[in-house]
Structure 1
Amino acid sequence: MRKLKSLLLVAFLALGMTGVANAQKVGHVNLERVIANMPETRTLQAEIEKISKTYSDDIAGMEKKLEAKYKKYSAEQGSQTQEVNAQRAKEVQDENARINQAKQTAVQDIQQKQQTKLIPILEKADKAIKEIAKSKGLLYVLDSSIGKGVLVADGVNIYNDLKAKLGLLPDQKPKSATTQK
C-alpha cells in the first residue's frame, strides 16, 4: 500500500511538472505591430496613398467642372426657356450621379487592391511566426495586439525574432494634425 501511495505521488508530481513545462511553451507577439512594420506593408500603404490621391484629384476636377457649369447655368437661367432649364437641370443631376459613382468605384477599387495585396503579406507573417515558434519549441503563439483578448503576456515575446526574419522597419510615429498639412 505504501508503494502504491509513493507511485501515485510520483505520477502526480510528474503530471504537474509536465503542465508547468507546457505552460512555458507559450509565446506572444503584437501581430498588428508586425504587419505594420513589414516593408511590404509600408510599400502597400504608399501605393494606396498614391492611388487615393489620383482618384481624389480626378474627382475634385470633376466636381470643379460641375460647379462651374452649375454657376453658369444658374446665371443664365432667367434668359433661357423652361425646356432648356429643365434639360440643364437634368444634365447637372446626371453629372452629379457620375461623380458619386466615381467615388464609389474609387473606394471599391482601393479596398480591392488593398485586400488583394495584403493577403501575401499576412501569409508571409504567418509562415514566419510558425517557423519561429517551431524553432523555439513554442506550442502556442498568442496575438497580444490591443483588443485581442490577451490580458497578460508573460511568455516568450517573438517580436525581435520576427523583426530579424522579416526585416521589420521601426515603428511609425503617429501623424499629428500639424504634420498632415
Structure 2
Amino acid sequence: MKSNSTVPELHQLRNHYLVMRHGHSQANAMGLVVSSPEHGLSGYGLSAKGEEQMSRRLAEWHLAAPQQILYSDFLRTTETAQRVADHFNVPLNPDARLRERFFGEYDLHPDHVYHDVWDMDARDPSQPLKQVESVHQVAERLCALIAELEQRYNDTTLLLVSHGDPLQILLTTAAGRPLNEHREISPLAPADVRPLIAR
C-alpha cells in the first residue's frame, strides 16, 4: 500500500476553507450511483428534499460567510452552489477537480455498490479497480486545486461545493490520516458544511 507521501500535504493554509456536500439529489432518491459527467452534468439535480435542506442550511448558517465559491459542475452541486451564492451575494466558479469520484463500471448501479468500492479502498487506496477512480487520484486533484487557490488568494474564506467521497478524501488528507481510512472520517450528510482544518 502506498503512503500519503505521494499526495501533496495540506498544512499552514493561508486561506479559510469550508467544504459542503450537495443537498439530497434525485440520484440519492433513486438509490443510484451517478458519477460520470455524461449523466451528472445535465441530470439528477436536487430533489425536493434537497431544496428543503438547502433552505434550512442557509437559514441556520453558523460559519463564516464565504467570499468565493468553487463547485463541481455536476447539476446537483451547481444547484447547491447557486443557492449559496444567491444567499450571500458572492461569485462562484465551476472547477472540474471538485467533480464526483468516478465509479467506473459501477456508474448507474444501485448505490449499495459503494460498499464494495470502499472495501477495495481500505485494502489499497492507490489501485483503480473496475475503472473506479482511485482514492489517490481523487486526493491528487483536490490537493492540486487547494495549492492553486493558495497561490491565488490570501486570507479569504472559500467554499468548496462537492460530493460525498471527494470531500471524505479531502478531509482525510487534511487530517494527515492514511487515505485507506477515508471512510472512518465522520461523513458529511447532504447539504452539510464543515471547515477544512489542515493538521
TM range (shorter): under 0.3
Tell me the TM-score normalised to structure 2 length: 0.25
Q: Choose 1 or 2 for highest CA Rg.
A: 1
Q: Which has the higher strand share?
A: 2
> Is the helix fraction higher in 1 or 2?
1
**TM-score, structure 1 as length reference:** 0.27
